[in-house]
A and B are shown apart, each in its own frame.
Chain A
Amino acid sequence: MSIHDTPKYMRTNAKIAEKKTPEKNYSPFHPGSALSVTHFTLDDVGCILEQSAKLESMPVHRRAQLYPKRRVALLFYESSTRTRTSFELAAKSLGMDTVLVSALSSSIEKGESLKDTGMTLRALGAECIILRHPNSGAPYLLAQATGLPILNAGDGIHEHPSQALLDLRTILSRLRRKNSALKHGLKITNRTLAGVTVTIVGDILHSRVARSNALLLPRLGARVLFCGPEALLPNAAAEIGPGVSIERNFECALAQSQVVMMLRIQRERLAGLDLDLEPYMEQYQLHTERLTASAPKALVLHPGPMIRGLEITSEVADGPNSAVLEQVHHGTAIRMALLGRALDTRPSKLKRPGKKQ
């Protein structure tokens, strides 16, 4: 396939991606990376959403010819169902070859460092690595060590950028159905979510989903409320960025919200924290009565895995307000766009700033 046969949408994507390459500041990371939502400009976000729509609506067989046999590695140091499957299906549906490396069945078990694992994957021909890792910031290290585009599929309790993007896509698609003003123009601006309040409830402290959403949604004009007990939501959380505040009373938060995002209590990360679940459920479980009383029209999101009967009841999870399965669906589209962006963006030509003599 010569360059002239390249479908137009692909060229557009490459062009846009290239234009977004940071010109002024030296960055040690490949510009096709998705390490943190803070690295995306609003135009980047717009492009990713636009591209995800394009790729999704494309006939399956054409989509599968876009990146034939391009190599992508999934490097997973933590267990995962939906994120891993979603990335893998996204890559395969674009025609890519994927290989899964997980911590328990590789040389990682023998003590190989993240840097060496990354460089080995690069030497094997991987053009992009999707990384899930229990340590916050690990994708930065991998990006620096390999020079490859790295897609952060969740690092410790830091970020989960693709989740925030798919949450955004879910919110926009639901709200657009209701609000005609949102229908026009796909351009993402700092007014796109003006007037929308999103409440994120539960184990904020250990949630990378909460952080990515709180760093992304306010830039589009949304207001984010964190809700939870102090043990899971320290006061410092409100300082994460503009547009974020704390409302510990769930009813008060719900009454102001158009979107409510429930989080799982991450028992594996509690690290000795003693949490009494009974009073927690009393105050923070999302059940039908609470939802009908305070926010009957609110959109209910959950990044999964859900613990039914703990933070959310089955009635709500399966009810009309819930968009949990739509989130999963949007995930694949977003991840296709991120993978395409990763492979289409040229590495920054800027060199490390020379040291003065």
Chain B
Amino acid sequence: MKAIWIHGGHLVDPSCGIDAKRDLLVRDGRVAALDSPGKLHALAKKENAVEIDAAGMIVAPGLVDIHVHLREPGQSHKETIASGTLAAAAGGFTSVCAMPNTSPVNDSAEITRWMQAPERNASAHVFPIAAATQGSMGEIVNDYDTLKAAGAVAVSDDGKPVLHDDVMMECLSAAARVGLPVIQHAEDTRLTHGASMNAGALAFRLGLRGMTAEAESGIVERDIELLKKIAGSRAHLHIAHLSTASALEAVRRGKQAGLHVTCEIAPHHFALTEQAIGDYDTHAKMNPPLRSDEDRAALIESLLDGTVDAIATDHAPHAIHEKEQEFERAPNGITGLETALGLALRVLHQQHGMPLARVLALLSTQPATLLHLKKRGELSIGSYADVVLFQAKEEWQFRVAESKSKSKNSPFDGWTFPGRIQMTICEGKIVYQTRHQKIKRMRSK
């Protein structure tokens, strides 16, 4: 594999606080050298490196998404690992953590390994998240040791909660023993039967059954109580796609009590509210649902004040015919890998003044740390050469028809975003680039 010399760019690495002009030399899939502009020229020449002119660009650690649905095995009409990771690369992501609600459910070492096999033809690194319980049925806790050995980075029954107190307790304890986080889909399904949007006045007007904020915060509070009982163990509770102010408050209190509880927020939850449903647009249907204005404001507030640990897309592809149904019958979820950086820059950076380095930390360094993805989400020497290059200010328009994902279920079709991605490099390999990107092979004289 050729060495790559990225020069002239502005490097932002939240892991070590670098936010300056730096050149980068990549060799054998790792970051080999890092220095002030121009200083790596001789070395690059010697290595016969591929030259990438990053003038005017931000050079940052490849983004890390700890919550995606790649639909393989079993639902390849929606997405494959190849198409999903291609969408990831186009969105600047070099690592994605795949949820286990595949068909069959990924609750075995066999499927966990299958997902990581080179035959899957992935453009980004795939880290499987294994099912917390057998078949994600919420009853029998899986063997986490075996799953971890096969490459699972966390356990979760995502799409469903682990509802029973004793089972959840067992999950937390068992996961703590092997050092895996438990990711909870916080939804008290006993309270959300038949619901397809946020509860409240709009749900009443549209004649749709609503999910209350309590159905989310109730589970978060319950889980934090369970965590308290095993305080002192290595138990790590991570709340997936948190969407309400009240659940956020519960996480905040848990953190203040010194518990290892973390949470992620999906871009659509900080970018949209339930109003996006409009005339029953199924591209605004997801679980958890889009919430109220107050919830959205609280989410943004908590992203700014540091309560939230990561941004994760909950990329959930569905075929056109599945979404083209009656609102209540359509499946939950939207694609998100290609719009996450754009939404974060537009809403958090431009509209709410979050520094660029913080935005990138939430999209790379912090999520990598949460799931112990070592040497990812950073660009220090020796770390994986996962790099994203983008023009922070250049506006671009997202057109879902051109999406790399196999599915086109996005509510952001036609939206304009800052931060056009020019190139994505995964372990030293260029996995995505815009057509106009100039790459020169250095000639050694």
Contact = CB atoms under 8 A, between A and B. Distances in A.
Are A and B physically bound partners?
yes
Interface of A: 28-29, 113-115, 133, 135-138, 140-141, 145, 155-159, 205, 208, 211, 215, 234, 236-237, 239-241, 271-272, 355-356
B204 A240 contact: yes
A271 B210 CA distance: 13
Given A355-B399, A356-B397, A137 B279 contact: yes
A114 B326 contact: yes
A156 B399 contact: no
Contacts of A272: 193
24 contacts: A28-B279, A113-B324, A135-B328, A136-B207, A136-B280, A137-B208, A137-B280, A140-B280, A155-B207, A157-B207, A158-B206, A158-B208, A234-B204, A236-B199, A236-B200, A236-B203, A236-B204, A237-B204, A240-B201, A241-B205, A271-B194, A271-B209, A355-B399, A355-B414
Contacts of A241: 205
A133 B326 contact: yes
Contacts of A157: 207
Across the A-B interface, the 5 shortest Cβ-Cβ residue pairs: A158-B207, A137-B280, A239-B201, A136-B207, A135-B326
A136 B194 CA distance: 12
B412 interface: no
Interface string B392-411: 00000101000000000000
Contacts of A133: 326
A203 B302 CA distance: 40
Given A113-B325, A156-B328, A137 B206 contact: yes
A111 B37 CA distance: 63
B321 interface: yes
A236 B200 CA distance: 6
Contacts of B326: 114, 133, 135, 137-138, 141
A176 to B, nearest CB: 30
A140 B282 CA distance: 11
B384 interface: no
Contacts of B193: 271-272
Interface in B151-207: 193-194, 199-201, 203-207
B194 A240 contact: no
A27 B328 CA distance: 22
Contacts of B206: 136-137, 158
Interface in B325-355: 325-329
B399 A136 contact: no
B417 to A, nearest CB: 13
Contacts, number: 76
Contacts of A115: 324-325
B328 A136 contact: yes
A26 B199 CA distance: 29
A156 B197 CA distance: 15
Contacts of A215: 205
A137 B324 contact: no
Nearest to A355: B414
A211 B207 contact: yes
Contact of A211 (B205, B327, B328): B205
A57 B280 CA distance: 39
A141 B397 contact: no
B280 to A, nearest CB: 3
B285 to A, nearest CB: 11
Contacts of A240: 201, 204-205
A230 to B, nearest CB: 13
B324 A145 contact: yes
A113 B321 CA distance: 9
Contacts of A29: 279
A239 B292 CA distance: 14
Nearest to B329: A135
A272 B397 CA distance: 46
Contacts of B203: 236
Contacts of A137: 206-208, 279-280, 326-328
Contacts of B204: 205, 234, 236-237, 239-240
Contacts of B207: 136-137, 155-159, 208, 211
Interface in B53-91: none
Contacts of B200: 236, 239
Contacts of A135: 326-329
B323 to A, nearest CB: 11
Given A137-B207, A208-B207, 13 more contacts: A136-B280, A136-B327, A136-B328, A137-B206, A141-B280, A141-B327, A156-B208, A159-B207, A236-B203, A239-B201, A239-B204, A241-B205, A271-B193
Contacts of A271: 193-194, 209
A51 to B, nearest CB: 26
Interface in B296-334: 321, 324-329
